[in-house]
Amino acid sequence: MNLPLEAATTLADELEALLPGRCSTAPSVLEQHGKDESYHAVAPPDIVVFPESTEEVQQVVVLCRRYGSPVIPFGTGTSLEGHVQALRGGVCIDVSKMDRILEVNADDLDCLVQPGVTRKRLNTHLRDTGLFFPIDPGADASLGGMAATRASGTNAVRYGTMRENVLGLTVVLADGRIIQTGGRAKKSAAGYDLTRLFVGSEGTLGVITGIRLRLYGTPEAISSAVCPFDTLAGAVDTVIRAIQFGIPVARIELLDEVQMDAVNRYSGYDYPVSPTLFFEFHGSQDGVREQVETTKALAAENGGGEFRWANLPEERARLWQARHDAYYASLALRPGSKGWATDVCVPISSLTECILQTRADIDASGLIAPIVGHVGDGNFHLAFVLDPDDPQELARAQALNDRMVERAQQMGGTCTGEHGVGYGKIEYMDKEHGQEAVQVMHLIKNALDPDNLMNPGKILPDEA
């Protein structure tokens, strides 16, 4: 579904006049901006624009409003639940040219960036300051996209998610209003928390054009390790005990044996093919030593094997590359396949049961779906490796996903710990929040975007 041809043509002309040479209707560009990294079908926008400032975004939004055109913000296209698909056509705002790091305040541990800056580029920029930005969803995503989707990832168990680490935002609203939310103080009790409202709103309430982030001092000591387990239950129980013990572990990641096999094949590692935990510890030398001792004892009690350590930066990078390669390694298990990455998050005490039941369900289904997870948060992922042209297989994956989400929700958990809703998880919103709370989300959406032009069709089910 796209804009009427005449409107699209005139709008494109106006946008080209506004942003000469930074406006495209080339089919390849439209196609590239109409899809994410998951199996969801391409839904290309009518036009893609590349603004360079908040004011340009504002002008684009005002024009779109005049034409009744949807507006879809686009960072790096690495989301997974159909967030960037232009379901009703319209204008995709690609923020990749808004890539300046505007401030780094080392004394206050904060920085200000444009939305197109990626997390890796920020960390490269910070290298000499002794600071770093910890949120790491795997992909080298844009910080605007990470804020918009409330991203988290491997370090969240210690440092929190984008919810905790965005101090403030600049946002262009549907009516062209530009607002600043939050501020530079570490806390504030001055009115509604607009920052947290926009973090995770997936472009449905406005376009994020500036982000102030918390930074952290690089730890004195960092130590990473990989430990295989006899059983999946033993690995997960180790995680639960570590969290309940209050060990301030920086990363604690699970890869099941299917995933370890995929990673070994893809990246040429020789890890044991068994359920495995990847750890990282941050702190002072003594602090890290203490965390390591306690964790090793917990692992040993739960059937853990030898810890394989990595302490030098290059060694650690190689170790974590294995973890970050997980999704692509899964896809490589089956050439020509498409991935469908889904995630849930449950209270930590239910994690073992939720993972074991899910693993049994996968095994019974005959589907290929490695499990990998940010288990310290109670969060884990499946990556279905699918033949995208086989509707039956897709239906089986859909049914398994439904059961997993229902299981997580019944345990008091959520249909998505970090991937977000997009349109892939819209159908689970009522069940999770109750119709009344979803109605309240609609009230807020309608108040800020009465014409439903901001990334329509995402997060909220159509109103009855």
Which residues ranging from 212 to 241 are in contact with a second copy (CB under 8 A)? 216-217, 240
Q: In whole angstroms, how close is the CB of 8 to a second copy at the nearest point?
A: 30
How many residues comprise the chain?
464
Which residues ranging from 267 to 286 are in contact with a second copy (CB under 8 A)? 284, 286
Residue among 176 and 272 whose Cβ is closer to a second copy: 176
Q: In whole angstroms, how close is the CB of 266 to a second copy at the nearest point?
A: 27
**332 sits near a second copy (criterion: CB under 8 A):** no
Residue among 236 and 262 whose Cβ is closer to a second copy: 236
Q: In whole angstroms, how close is the CB of 378 to a second copy at the nearest point?
A: 6
**321 sits near a second copy (criterion: CB under 8 A):** no
**99 sits near a second copy (criterion: CB under 8 A):** no
**429 sits near a second copy (criterion: CB under 8 A):** yes
**418 sits near a second copy (criterion: CB under 8 A):** yes
Q: In whole angstroms, how close is the CB of 241 to a second copy at the nearest point?
A: 10
Which residues ranging from 395 to 414 are in contact with a second copy (CB under 8 A)? 408, 411-414
Q: In whole angstroms, how close is the CB of 123 to a second copy at the nearest point?
A: 17
Q: In whole angstroms, how close is the CB of 438 to a second copy at the nearest point?
A: 8
**419 sits near a second copy (criterion: CB under 8 A):** yes
**440 sits near a second copy (criterion: CB under 8 A):** yes
Residue among 82 and 378 whose Cβ is closer to a second copy: 378
**459 sits near a second copy (criterion: CB under 8 A):** yes
**417 sits near a second copy (criterion: CB under 8 A):** yes
Interface residue with a second copy among 99, 353, 406, 432 (CB under 8 A) is 432
**364 sits near a second copy (criterion: CB under 8 A):** no
**290 sits near a second copy (criterion: CB under 8 A):** yes
Q: In whole angstroms, how close is the CB of 272 to a second copy at the nearest point?
A: 29
